[in-house]
Amino acid sequence: MNHREPGPSAGQDRVLPIASKPLLSLRQASVQFGAVRALENIDLTLHAGERLALVGANGSGKTTLLRLLHGLVPLSTGERCWDPRSLAGSHPAGSHPIAARPSPRQPTMAMVFQRPFLLNLSVRNNLRIALWLRGVGRAERGLRIRQALTRVGLTALADRPAGVLSGGQQQRLALGIAWAAQPEVLFLDEPTASLDPSAKREVEGLIDELAREGLTVVMTTHNLGQAKRLATRVIYLEAGRLVVDKPVVSFFSEALPFAAEQFLQGELSWN
Amino acid sequence: MELNRTFQPMGARARRASLLAVIGTVIMAGVALLMAPAAHAEDRFIVMASTTSTEQSGLFNHLLPLFKQASGIEVRVVAVGTGQAIDMARRGDADIAFVHDTAAEEKFVAEGFALKRQDVMYNDFVLIGPARDPAGTAGRDVVGALRKLAANGAPFISRGDKSGTHAAELRLWKRAAIDPASFKAGSYRECGCGMGPALNMASATNAYVLADRGTWLAFRNRGDLKILVEGDQSLFNQYGVLVVNPARHPHVKQALAQTFADWIVSPAGQGAIASYQVGGESLFFPNARK
Amino acid sequence: MSTVSESLSLALELIGRADPELTRIAALSLRVSGSACLIGAVVGLALGAWLAVARFPGDRIVVWGLNTLLALPSVVVGLLVYLLLSRAGPLGALGILFTPTAMIVAQSILVVPLIAALSRRLVLTALREGGDQLRSMGAGSGMSAVLLLLHERVGVLTVLLTAFGRAVAEVGAVMVVGGNINGVTRVMTTAIALETSKGDLALALALGFVLLGVVGIINGALAWMQQGVSRSAEVLA
């Protein structure tokens, strides 16, 4: 399978369409777990076609923010809302099919976790159950399973138990499951953090391809090189607060607040 | 990390086939397990509440097949202590009771749970103890023996379970004018158990115990024990049969139960009792009133 | 230990000549305990899965109650069921006292708390790992619990085998509600109790060995079947 490796100049190809519809927004959102304030007064709007990277140190709240956007975590204060008018224009023509079932409310979303959780079943059955959960009918299911297997390059392994796949293959399967749901937004929580370097490249390449097809992507990463390679917009979080929110090129070239700069230096040197 | 698999997993079709086989087996097993044998509603059987000592003597294995042959009725024996057996009959969980506690049986009739009680047979109790007999009880006088036991302080096992045997034992202590509570600590041991376990305990601790001859004859774990006192009139143990009164429990199979009661006191039944022997000895002596 | 060696050879002899009485008793033991486990599985797995995901006022108390019921003595269950099924009791009209059906009822009650408590634990642990992913994929809590039981089917099988062990080895409940009637409700454990109280210790122990042997064969067969169907699942477990 050919993975196109995103190069350092990829940032330039990733230019957003000028009038990009908002998909999800947070207004003064805060999340509190018991005594801990994980997120503080976040204002954020996600636009169609964006590739948003959430970066920050451990405990900065980036994973909580990701889950909040997805809806896995409840708001303590503030607002989370979505704009249904954006559905029609969220995908550039010809690249990604419109969701089979236009959601009446929230945009269709899927998430890939750092350590993929796959059921103790075959690759194919994992896809089947995931699609069944989304209410996809039998014929359509079969079609999407075949497409997903091809898309992520796992057709040869379709009947193997998901547990015997390598780390990279499992993450590809997780991506395939997410993609098969035909989401408008794909959330990724440190998708390559647990993988060895070659698997990392494999999965990053796949994410890049999926994003090029028009999928809106939100991902957390502590790998700034990855943010640079994949994102169109970067948000830096510190102690639950949104400190920097810039397009990727500006983020890595312009001056940043001191702490962010420190973080950048600390992380970048490891890439 | 690449996980290397060196074995060849089964192909998809084979796996599906074996999964179907497993499911099929489970379903068949489930059906077989849950299918009860044909309902017994039409079968002729009665439930008889009797005592553990009677069952353990082996009498029923001898008697009941003969009765089944004669009448076609199956007798299902639930063997518990006398107190529990009478309680079962009182609740209507048994159709007939076959126990050996005349006082309790008469009370049962007086309360209206049975129309009458009938003598069936008797056996006797024996005083069992260690062969070397430290309390010097051997002989034919059981009350005297008990007095010597109390004086000597040798260990004695009591069933303590409100059984017929236990009731007989307590009557004997009363006759001897001895209160078992006055025994030296640890020498009067109430196990709250059946005859067999009590004998086991006596065998293991070389203690004295009052037992019915039937259970003793069938008992295998004797250790050092032997019969020390027998033949005393007060060791007489009378058995009675009571059919539960249908006025109290309408569901009771009165006709079938009465057939058994009639048979056991008839010459055929009495003969069957007399013919039951263990090691050449009769265990029970028929004495139904003519 | 001559009783032990005597019992072992007696056990082998009984099995060797397929003693009909022994076969009948063993078959009834399996039938009663097997049925109880099937019923217990349906009720217990559902209850355990539900308790793992449900949130309602007093859910902690229910879980505490469930865990406490794990220590329920079998003879107590037997007594309760006896009082229920006795002619003098509320369900006496059913007339199932002193039949294998009553024994199945009593043993089912005995194994349900065990299966529920253990499967709840299984689901809770699995939820920690995959709960978010399943929720993200659109599964409600009930569906998540069911999928996780499927995911942990090896663990579920172990739970059911544990329950079966508890059922087939207990004597208190079946003795009280079955009455140990020769040829009708006598099972391995009540037969062992009877032979012990008769003082025939060698036979009692021999029956014990036979019981262990039978359960051992069942465990072995299940393990072999399970290995053939999903080897990799075992590797994952």
CATH label of the domain that carries residue A241: 3.40.50.300
- Chains in contact with B, where contact requires at least 3 CB pairs less than 8 Å apart: A, C
Whether A61 contacts A239, CB under 8 Å: yes
Phi and psi at C199, nearest 5°, equal: 90, 0
> Taking CB atoms and an 8 Å limit, are B92 and C181 in contact across chains?
no
Cα atoms in the 13 Å half-sphere on the side-chain side of B248: 20
Residues in A closer than 8 angstroms to B15, CB to CB, are: 159
Question: What is the domain count for chain A?
Answer: 1
> Considering the domain boundaries, does residue C7 fall inside one?
no
Spatial separation of the C-alpha atoms in residues C169 and C53, rounded to whole Å: 32
> How close is the nearest chain B Cα to the Cα of C59, in Å?
33
The mean-pLDDT minimum among A143-147, A216-220, B174-178 falls in B174-178
Enter the pTM of the model.
Answer: 0.79
Residues B118 and B260 in one domain: yes
Q: What is the residue range of C131's domain?
A: 22-187
Task: Tell me the two tokens of residue B148.
Answer: 């010597």
Task: Kindly state the percentage of chain A with pLDDT values over 90.
Answer: 64
How many Å lie between the alpha carbon of C28 and the closest alpha carbon of chain B?
9
Contacts of C133 in chain A (CB under 8 A): 111, 113, 116-117
User: Does B194 score more than 50 pLDDT?
Assistant: yes
CB neighbourhood size of C10 (10 A): 18
At B63-114, the pLDDT tens digits run: 999 999 999 999 999 999 888 899 999 999 999 999 988 889 999 999 999 9
Summarize the confidence of residues B255-276 as an average pLDDT: 95
Nearest-CA distance A167 → chain B (Å):
6
Give the SS3 label for residue B128. Answer: strand
* B253 in the same domain as B111: yes
B128-148 in b/e burial notation, b at 16+ Cβ within 10 A?
Answer: bbbeebebebbeeebbebbbb
Phi, psi angles (nearest 5°) of residue C171: -125, -30
Q: Residue A52: which domain range?
A: 21-83+184-271
**Which domain CATH number covers C140?**
1.10.3720.10
Alpha carbons C181 and B199: distance in angstroms, whole number: 23
Q: What percent of chain B has pLDDT over 70?
A: 85
B113 touches chain C (CB under 8 A): no
Domain count, chain C: 1
Q: Is the domain of B118 the same as that of B245?
A: yes
Query: What burial class does residue B58 get, using C-beta atoms within 10 Å of its C-beta: 0-12 exposed, 13-18 middle, 19+ buried?
Result: middle
How much is the pLDDT for B211? Answer: 93
Residue A208 has pLDDT above 60, yes or no: yes
Is C199's CB within 8 Å of B19's CB?
A: no
- The C-alpha angle with vertex C38 and arms to C34 and C44, in degrees rounded to 5, equals 130
Chain B residues with CB under 8 Å of C87 CB are 91-93, 249, 251
In sequence order, the 6+-apart residues with CB closer than 8 A to the CB of C18 are none
pLDDT recorded at residue C199 = 75
Site from A159, A194, A195, A200 to mutate, B interface, most B CB atoms within 10 angstroms: A159
A146-157 mean pLDDT = 94
Q: What confidence tens digit (pLDDT) does each residue in C23-51 have?
A: 999 999 999 999 999 999 999 999 999 99
CA distance C63 to C42: 18
More confident residue, A9 or A43: A43
Q: How far is CA A112 from CA A24, A102, A154, A178, in A?
A: 18, 22, 17, 7
Which tens digit of pLDDT belongs to each residue from A1-32? 444 455 444 444 555 554 578 889 999 999 99
Do B174 and B149 belong together in one domain? yes
Residue of B nearest to C224 (CA): B22
Please report which confidence band the pLDDT of residue A264 belongs to, taking 50, 70 and 90 as the band edges.
confident
pLDDT of residue A268: 61
**Chain B CB contacts of C180 below 8 Å:** 78-79
> For residue A204, what pLDDT is reported?
93
Consecutive H or E run containing C153:
helix C153-169
pLDDT value at A90 more than 60: no
**What pLDDT digit, counting tens, does each position of C96-120 carry?**
999 999 999 999 999 999 999 999 9
Tokens (6 digits) for B271: 């003969």
> CB-based contact (8 Å) between C31 and chain B?
yes
Instruction: Give the separation between CA B260 and CA B266, rounded to whole angstroms.
Output: 10
- What CA–CA distance (Å, rounded) separates A23 from A88? 11
What confidence score (pLDDT) does residue A10 get? Answer: 45
Asked, for residue C64, whether it belongs to a domain, the answer is yes
Instruction: Say yes or no: C35 contacts chain B, CB-CB below 8 A.
Output: yes
> What is the extent of the structural domain holding B63?
43-123+237-286
Nearest CA in chain A to B12: A159
Same domain, residue pair B256 and B229: no
Q: What would the pLDDT profile of C201-215 be if each residue is shown by its tens digit? A: 888 999 999 999 988
CATH number at residue B274: 3.40.190.10
